[in-house]
């Protein structure tokens, strides 16, 4: 168990990328090059995701509409509405919402993201849950997110960014630009990957470790670029220590609410046994760093660094807390019988 709670090498890589960006950000002369490289890496990642996705293996579990529907509802209905509600509540209490607008925009963006795949599956397995259901739920969440996340961002995030800049039209230039960039950086490569998967899918699935290393390295470079732009834009002058600590508290609150709510709904909707409940809780409460960083780069450009800060911390919180829950669940016969 101690080994499972040790820091994930991927998280260490992300922390290193953030640290390097803060200490040695890329200069303005090379920033354009890194932006182009980031776009290419984003397109490559979504192409590979499309090529590796094997629908035949997942068909049976997709038929469990209660389980799949509850995870999708958690990711794309409950999460965004809860984020919006908390945003209004906190800004009603305090003029800056305790965490400041910049970090709140990142929190709202986080609430629009799909579930994470790798940690959801690993922790579900660790807790003796329904791994096949977790694979289906997390994969379907990511597939749906390619289309739904930009729409939710357009509804819950971009109007607030636009209002701060004096733009009041939800479907104005900023939203249109984001959708166009999303289409050619995320959706088109994914569709091309689906087509190419018929020819190269088996090869890619046989080299999972190499592809995982390349994918994680790409994510680290995207994080470095995003935070370099944030540092060059003096983002840390905008975010003070009080705002940062408030953000940490808000993220912890969101995670606890979603972990409790997804388990409660799994019981009330009679989605099945203990294993299904675990899959719903772990998939429905998580947000994907590997999807969030590329989407942030595609949708927000130079603001991607600020928008990614809450996601980076939420990702670490969810892995740590869910690892503790998984250990507890693995020792219990049936959490829904209690």
- Contacts for 93 with CB less than 8 Å, ≥ 6 apart: none
End-to-end CA distance of the chain: 25
Crossing angle between the packed helical segments 304-330 and 289-300, to the nearest 10 degrees:
170
pTM listed for this prediction: 0.72
Give residue-wise pLDDT tens across range 152-171.
998 999 888 764 433 334 44
Q: Name the CA dihedral angle for 280, 283, 285, 287, rounded to a multiple of 10 degrees.
A: -170
What pLDDT was estimated at residue 143? 80
Residue 26 banded pLDDT, cuts 50, 70, 90: confident
Give residue-wise pLDDT tens across range 34-53.
778 877 877 887 788 778 76
Give residue-wise pLDDT tens across range 258-293.
999 999 999 888 766 788 899 999 999 999 887 788
Identify the residue with better confidence: 16 or 4.
16
Residue 62 near residue 253 (C-beta atoms within 8 A): no
Identify the residue with better confidence: 318 or 87.
87
Crossing angle between the packed helical segments 118-126 and 304-330, to the nearest 10 degrees:
10
Residue 2 banded pLDDT, cuts 50, 70, 90: very low
**Domain containing 267: what range?**
2-337
Please report, for the domain that includes residue 86, its CATH number. 1.20.1530.20
Give residue-wise pLDDT tens across range 130-159.
877 887 888 788 888 888 998 899 899 988
Question: Rounded to whole angstroms, how far apart are CA atoms 204 and 223?
Answer: 25
- Contacts for 301 with CB less than 8 Å, ≥ 6 apart: 35, 181
Give residue-wise pLDDT tens across range 103-122.
999 999 999 999 987 778 77
What mean pLDDT is reported for the chain? 80
Count of the separate structural domains present in the chain? 1
Asked whether the predicted pLDDT for residue 330 surpasses 80, the reply is: yes
Handedness of CA 4, 68, 48, 202 (dihedral sign): positive
What pLDDT was estimated at residue 34? 79
What pLDDT was estimated at residue 164? 41
């Amino acid at each position: 168990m101690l080994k499972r709670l040790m820091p994930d090498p991927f998280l260490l890589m992300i922390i290193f990328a953030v640290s390097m960006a803060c200490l040695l950000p890329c200069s303005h002369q090379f920033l354009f090059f890194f932006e182009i490289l980031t776009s290419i890496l984003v397109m490559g990642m979504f192409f590979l995701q499309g090529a590796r996705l094997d629908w035949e293996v997942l068909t049976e579990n997709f038929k469990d509409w209660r389980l799949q529907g509850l995870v999708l509802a958690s990711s794309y209905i409950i999460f965004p509405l809860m984020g919006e509600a908390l945003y209004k509540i906190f800004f009603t209490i305090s003029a800056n919402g305790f965490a400041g607008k910049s970090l709140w925009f990142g929190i709202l963006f986080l609430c629009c993201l799909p579930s994470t795949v790798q940690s959801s599956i690993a922790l579900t397995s660790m807790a003796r849950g329904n791994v096949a259901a977790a694979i289906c739920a997390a994969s379907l969440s990511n597939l749906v997110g390619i289309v739904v996340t930009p729409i939710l961002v357009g509804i819950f995030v971009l109007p607030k960014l636009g209002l701060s800049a004096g733009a009041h039209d939800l479907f104005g230039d900023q939203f249109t630009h984001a959708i166009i960039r999303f289409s050619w950086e995320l959706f088109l490569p994914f569709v091309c990957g689906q087509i190419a998967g018929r020819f190269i899918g088996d090869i890619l699935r046989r080299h999972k470790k190499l592809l995982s290393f390349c994918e994680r390295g790409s994510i680290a470079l995207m994080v470095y670029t995003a935070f370099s732009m944030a540092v060059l834009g003096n983002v840390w002058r905008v975010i003070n220590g009080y705002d940062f600590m408030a953000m940490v508290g808000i993220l912890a609150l969101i995670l606890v609410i979603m972990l409790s709510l997804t388990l409660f709904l799994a019981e009330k909707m009679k989605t099945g046994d203990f294993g299904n409940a675990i899959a719903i809780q772990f998939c429905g409460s998580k947000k994907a760093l590997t999807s969030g960083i590329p989407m942030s780069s595609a949708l927000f450009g130079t603001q991607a660094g600020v928008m990614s800060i809450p996601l980076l911390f939420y990702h670490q919180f969810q892995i740590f807390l869910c690892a503790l829950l998984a250990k507890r669940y693995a020792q219990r016969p049936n959490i829904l019988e209690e």
